[in-house]
Structure 1
Amino acid sequence: MTWDEKIKDFETFLKFERNFSDNTLDAYLRDIKKLKDYAEFDLENTGPLEITYENIQEYLFQLSKKKFSERTQARWVSSIKSFFKYLVDDEVRTDNPAALLEGPKLGLYLPDTLSFEDVERIIIAIDINTDLGKRNQCMIEVLYGCGLRVSELIDLKISNINFKESYLKVEGKGDKSRFVPLALYTSQLIKDYITNVRSKYKINKKCEDILFLNSRGSSMSRVIVFIIIKELTEKAGISKKISPHTFRHSFATHLLQNGADLRYIQEMLGHSSITTTEIYTHLKNEELRDVILNYHPRNKAL
């Protein structure tokens, strides 16, 4: 039984039984394929049924010396544990060589956010005298105004926009749908983009319902969106490392700062657990801490 056979079976399991999103699926498979390469080249073609706990430990130790982040290392462990648990559940192996693996202890991860002023600076940096500029402005406003993931943005369908009732139907992780309110300002930008920019494209038949298109009339890639945001951030003179996800974090943080209920934010972000959304309360607590340190008279007296 080869690595390739079991990795293919594992892919089917994650996709259809665990309902993994494409991005998570790709990451898990990439992790297992790296372990496969190590087993074949460094362990003299050791197969998935023969590899031991000590082999996997040594593999992870070698990787850890290459200064990958703790979050990446934690995902490696999660991927490997999931793979061998699958082999045991599928009765391919009787023992689980990954059962005792432990990932690095992760501290509290506070995502980078932008102030509202920073968001404005980025949008002002867009040249809206061009069709591409108008499209990019609309994309940024939808990212920030609706809290979308980049994959949700590039897959957004026109048929899922209800202009009359002012909401988007978003197809999120694991094929779970949610409804996100659409501000009138954002709604008008989308209408203008559809009427004045998108209508000029010769649209690929497969992309007739996709909202955001490239100049060739096809759907956009995640990489292009990253590049657009990187260039705009530099143009705006913002030194933070910004990604499309930063606008999603900023969306949630600004809602919380302005008094929105955490449960509503959870629904709009599409988090299955409230604990994921609670990260934003820590951001608010950090802000409160800074206020006390900077403005409390007792602190000034020190």
Structure 2
Amino acid sequence: MENVNKSLQLFKEYLQIEKNYSEYTVVHYEQSIEHFFIFMKQQQLLHFSDVTYTDVRLYLTELYKKQYARRTVAKKISTLRSFFQYLLKEKIVAENPFTLVSLPKREQKLPHFLYEEELEKLFEVSDVTTDLGQRDQALLELLYATGIRVSECCKLSLQDIDFSLGTIFVHGKGNKQRYVPFGSYAGHALNIYISNGRKQLLEKTSIHTNQLFLNYRGGPLTTRGVRLILNNLIKKTSSTIHISPHVLRHTFATHLLNEGADMRSVQELLGHENLSSTQIYTHVTKDHLRNIYMSSHPRA
């Protein structure tokens, strides 16, 4: 299986360099492909060219037997389809057997979002007299103000912030770039953090970095670090709600649509390639409108 592992390494480099995928996405791809490698060994398939449509169907059956969720199955098959497409392009295989398999329909799960009173509790938690408190407040305000992905947030540098226009320059998925505005609350929190807290954090290391958000040692903050910060903020509120960078992204989109923003504008702000990715939020806003109607209309 030595050539198999070599091909995976080359594919990972292709995703990182040519596709500019985030570290999180590349790891997900790697795990799905390695899972298929185990299946190949079990079926004594030594080369990628040995894999046929029949083998793919058998693999699909195995996934369903192990009761994987449809969403997980769809992700695995989609990943392997991309991988074999790469192998086809590199002439390692003569055909892509995964193109013949239709992806299972995903369960339509409504995005989880926070209500304004839940957000207010979060915004009151950080001790903004400390360097880490100022960082956490700026991070929280910016994630909610812009709806950017956690990977995009961790790529932000000082040069990406334009205080005069109130915008950030976002390096998005697939090397796509966009400008996203932020409001006065985020601007105020960022100003305090950059002027004070960030400088104090930089003093803890000899390494210079222009990255906006830093960890407690003064180094660049990672996506995992952002998730830990949000979890700690929630613990301080003694709330049972679940929080993640993506929940803040969902909240950003839902609140905009609830207040009358048009779908195309929200799509552009989120950096969604397809409008269908944004349309899931209409289900949430429809529920919101229905609740308002039922509680407000005299003959509801």
Q: Match of 1:36?
A: 37
Distance 1:12 1:225, change over 3 A: closer
SS at match of 2:97: coil
SS at match of 1:278: helix
Q: Offset at 1:186?
A: 1.2
| C-alpha separation in 1, matches of 2:171 and 2:34 | 29
Worse overlay, 93-102 or 198-207? 198-207
SS at match of 2:168: strand
- Once the two structures are superposed, residues 206-264 of structure 1 have per-residue CA deviations (whole angstroms, 9 ceiling, x without a partner) of 65211110121101121121122123223323323221111111111111111122222
Q: Match of 1:178?
A: 178
| C-alpha separation in 1, matches of 2:49 and 2:160 | 46
What amino acid is the match of 1:37? I
| C-alpha separation in 2, matches of 1:47 and 1:204 | 48
Q: Match of 1:122?
A: 122
Identity level (%):
36
Q: Offset at 1:18?
A: 4.4
Unmatched 5+ residue regions in structure 1? Answer: none
Q: Offset at 1:63?
A: 3.3
Worse overlay, 101-110 or 61-70? 61-70
What amino acid is the match of 1:223? R
| C-alpha separation in 1, matches of 2:193 and 2:18 | 39
1:266-277 alignment, distance < 5 Å: 266-277=267-278
Equivalent pair of 2:40/2:46 in contact (CA under 8 Å): yes
Distance 1:178 1:95, change over 3 A: closer
1:15-54 alignment, distance < 5 Å: 15-40=16-41, 42-44=42-44, 46-54=46-54
- Once the two structures are superposed, residues 117-145 of structure 1 have per-residue CA deviations (whole angstroms, 9 ceiling, x without a partner) of 11111222333343212211111011001
The TM-score with structure 1 as length reference comes to 0.88
| C-alpha separation in 2, matches of 1:18 and 1:212 | 24
Worse overlay, 18-27 or 261-270? 18-27
- Once the two structures are superposed, residues 137-188 of structure 1 have per-residue CA deviations (whole angstroms, 9 ceiling, x without a partner) of 1110110011111111122111111112211111111121111112122112
Residue 230 of structure 2 is aligned to residue 229 of structure 1: yes
Residue 71 of structure 2 is aligned to residue 71 of structure 1: yes
| C-alpha separation in 2, matches of 1:205 and 1:278 | 46
Distance 1:60 1:207, change over 3 A: farther
| C-alpha separation in 2, matches of 1:239 and 1:179 | 34
Worse overlay, 44-53 or 270-279? 44-53
Worse overlay, 98-107 or 193-202? 98-107
Distance 1:99 1:182, change over 3 A: closer
| C-alpha separation in 1, matches of 2:34 and 2:244 | 27
SS at match of 1:197: helix
Q: Match of 1:140?
A: 140
1:1-302 alignment, distance < 5 Å: 2-40=3-41, 42-44=42-44, 46-201=46-201, 202=203, 208-292=209-293
What amino acid is the match of 2:219? S
Equivalent pair of 1:180/1:268 in contact (CA under 8 Å): yes
Distance 1:189 1:63, change over 3 A: same
Distance 1:117 1:143, change over 3 A: same
Distance 1:17 1:131, change over 3 A: closer
Equivalent pair of 2:71/2:107 in contact (CA under 8 Å): no
SS at match of 1:178: strand
| C-alpha separation in 1, matches of 2:239 and 2:178 | 32
Number of equivalences:
298
What amino acid is the match of 2:265? Y
Unmatched 5+ residue regions in structure 2? Answer: none
Equivalent pair of 1:2/1:48 in contact (CA under 8 Å): no
What amino acid is the match of 2:28? A
Q: Offset at 1:291?
A: 4.1
